[in-house]
């Protein structure tokens, strides 16, 4: 049964600010301690425009890091990590580094002089899955399920939407649904009762569960109801829907790129990294002839859980 009694409502509108981090990077960031419960199981959702190398090799542990390059991005990313992966993340593709017990990686635009536009998304792990063996997952742009219906184009990057499901499964199941709407077109997302759901509007104006939402705004729904209707205004719209079951009550201790369930586990991650337990990685800048493969993940999962 569907209908008004099962329709979500918009609980909060957030207007994240765009920030500039030097000459080559601007981000629009959603996250932080004040939103930890609101967007769980997501930790950070960052929309970025990057024009050149910004971050050298760096570690992560205790969660998953997803990089989604928007299909309209002029260029893609290149990625490598201490598991042996050397990938191109093309426009429209998704790469997930399941950091687990610890890994290092580096990502940057595939060439300078043009902007790579996409999302970096930090996805929390349940307490028992923080120290899984690190591994990488890749979804090529051509393998993302696409549904076209009445002026709506829906890319099902993670999870399920519009009757289709992404082929990629990650430790914490979430939805990442990329939607383009022509003028007046509509889209409906089915949700589980209790599931976190929020929509970032990239362009155009939309009605989300009857609430007007402008570009640059994030609409966070309540968690009661099983459907979320979205319709575009006269200029059409681009939006990304994020959803997932919140990790209610899960203990979390964070320091920079490490997320743990206790102070002892956090210290263990830090000690392993200091002892080169996450492996070592030669920066792109020291590999002038470096060539990625076209999105294929080559490495097996890394070492198992840390003791």
pLDDT tens digits for range 211-232: 999 999 999 999 999 999 999 9
Give the span between the Cα atoms of 87 and 138, in whole angstroms: 9
Residue labelled with tokens 């993670």: 158
CA distances from 298 to 195, 248, 251, 285, 294 (A): 34, 35, 33, 22, 11
**Which tokens hold the place of 101?**
């017990």
Helix (H) or strand (E) holding 267: helix 263-274
Q: Per-residue pLDDT for 1 more than 50?
A: no
What are the tens digits of pLDDT across the range 26-69? 999 999 989 999 999 999 999 999 988 788 899 999 999 999 99
Q: Mean pLDDT, to the nearest integer, of 170-191?
A: 97
* Tokens found for residue 93: 């593709």
Q: Is the pLDDT of residue 2 over 80?
A: no
pLDDT digits (tens, 9 = 90+) for 140-159: 999 999 999 999 999 999 99
Q: Tell me if residue 39 falls in helix, strand or coil.
A: helix
Average pLDDT for the chain: 92
CB burial of residue 156 (10 Å; 0-12, 13-18, 19+): buried
Mean pLDDT of 256-280: 97
Buried b (16+ CB within 10 A) or exposed e, 18-42: eeeeeebbbbbebbeeebbebbbbb
**DSSP-derived 3-state class of residue 146:** strand
Q: Which pair of tokens denotes residue 167?
A: 């082929």
| CA–CA dist 63, 253 (Å, integer) | 12
Q: For residue range 9-32, list pLDDT tens digits in order.
A: 999 999 999 999 878 899 999 999
Q: Residue 168: which residues within 8 A CB-CB, separation 6 or more?
A: 94, 96, 137, 139, 158
Contacts of 277 by beta carbon, 8 Å cutoff, 6+ apart: 102, 271, 303, 306
Predicted local distance difference test score (pLDDT) of residue 145: 98
Give the pLDDT confidence score for residue 13 in this predicted structure.
98
**Alpha carbons 261 and 127: distance in angstroms, whole number:** 6
Q: 3-class DSSP state for residue 30? A: strand
Asked if 294 and 95 count as a contact pair (C-beta separation under 8 A), the reply is: no
- CA 242 – CA 177 distance, rounded (Å): 7
């Amino acid at each position: 049964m569907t209908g008004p009694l099962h329709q979500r409502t918009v609980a909060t509108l957030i207007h994240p600010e765009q920030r500039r981090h030097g000459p080559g990077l601007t981000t629009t960031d959603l996250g932080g301690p004040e939103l930890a419960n609101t967007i769980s199981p997501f930790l950070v959702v960052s929309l970025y425009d990057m024009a050149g190398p910004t971050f050298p090799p760096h570690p992560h542990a205790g969660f998953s890091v997803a990089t989604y390059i928007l299909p309209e991005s002029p260029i893609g990313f290149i990625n490598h990590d201490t598991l042996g992966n050397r990938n191109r993340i093309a426009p429209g593709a998704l790469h997930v580094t399941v950091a687990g017990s610890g890994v290092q990686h580096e990502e940057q635009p595939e060439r300078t002089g043009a902007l790579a536009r996409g999302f970096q998304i930090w996805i929390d792990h349940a307490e028992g899955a923080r120290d899984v063996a690190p591994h990488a997952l890749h979804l090529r742009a051509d393998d993302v399920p696409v549904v076209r219906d009445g002026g709506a184009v829906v890319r099902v990057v993670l999870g399920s939407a519009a009757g289709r499901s992404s082929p990629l499964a990650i430790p914490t199941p979430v939805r990442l649904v990329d939607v383009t709407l022509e003028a007046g077109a509509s889209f409906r997302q089915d949700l589980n009762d209790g599931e976190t759901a929020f929509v970032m509007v990239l362009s155009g104006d939309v009605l989300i569960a009857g609430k007007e939402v402008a570009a640059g705004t994030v609409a966070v729904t309540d968690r009661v109801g099983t459907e979320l209707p979205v319709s575009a205004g006269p200029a059409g719209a681009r939006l990304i829907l994020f959803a997932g079951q919140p990790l209610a009550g899960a203990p979390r201790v964070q320091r920079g790129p490490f997320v743990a369930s206790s102070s002892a586990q956090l210290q263990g991650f830090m000690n392993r990294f200091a002892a080169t337990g996450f492996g070592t990685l030669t920066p792109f800048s020291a590999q002038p002839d470096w060539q990625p493969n076209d999105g294929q993940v080559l490495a097996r999962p890394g070492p198992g859980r840390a003791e």
